[in-house]
Amino acid sequence: MKVVILAGGRGSRISEESKYKPKPMVKIGNKPIIWHIIKYYEAFGFSEFIICAGYKQKLLKNFFSKKSGIKAKVTVVDTGLDSMTGGRIKKIKKHVIKDKNFLLTYGDGLSNINLIKLINLHKKMNKIVTLSAVKPNSKYGIVKLNNNRVKSFEEKPNNHFISGGFFVISTKIFEYIKNEKNIFELHCLPVLAKKNELAAYKHNGFWHCLDTMRDKEDLNKLWGKKPLWKIW
């Protein structure tokens, strides 16, 4: 099963770094975060990766053309500068269409998700997409309102789930992506949910995305101590 990584966006919320490089090339320790992601999948035995590149893609191509400490086969595909997430997936169709399923994740998220259990659930549920439902590291409290009255306030809640990437996807997905302007999360997932074709694997363990400079600092602190995603 091939692993597809979305790595073509501009990463505007971490512009301090992304004005010079694509966000997946931002370093955790002395390696880009996309290196950490690939090493994690490698540890489960996956050996072929398709990188959906766009913004400053030459930096990705240059990195993987050299000795990077990755044993797997990595193919960097130009999926367009302005393509949306669904469009990027559509543009790598030829690389995965021969298989029944493929894996997909974002180039800015780290976790200790059990990929074998995730895949087994996907096969058991037999849906087009299985997403990983994770608990975010929220730094904000949630205010619940009734008109202008505050009903309750929850500081840094951790009892709700979000989609954290780490998908398993049937190649039937290409029937639901029309063009490069389609947003996977907006134009595909809600449609699949309505058709009862979207499953979720609940992950209560570690998950962290690289969205801001604060996230970079947090991940680097973890890397220097006890990185829960380092299983290789």
Bridge pairing between strands 73-78 and 48-53: parallel
CA dist 151 and 133 (Å) reads 27
Residue listed under structure tokens 């880009």: 32
Tell me the C-alpha to C-alpha distance, in Å, between residue 72 and each of 2, 42, 91, 228: 11, 7, 21, 22
pLDDT by residue, tens only, the chain of 232 residues: 999 999 999 888 898 988 999 999 999 999 999 999 999 999 999 999 999 999 999 999 999 998 788 999 999 999 999 999 999 999 999 999 999 999 999 999 999 999 999 999 999 999 999 999 998 876 656 666 777 676 666 666 666 789 999 999 999 999 999 999 999 999 999 999 999 999 999 999 999 999 999 999 999 999 999 899 999 9
- The third-level CATH classification (topology) of the domain covering 3-224 is Spore Coat Polysaccharide Biosynthesis Protein SpsA; Chain A (3.90.550)
**Cβ-Cβ contacts under 8 Å for 225 (sequence gap 6 or more):** none
The domain locations on the chain are 3-224
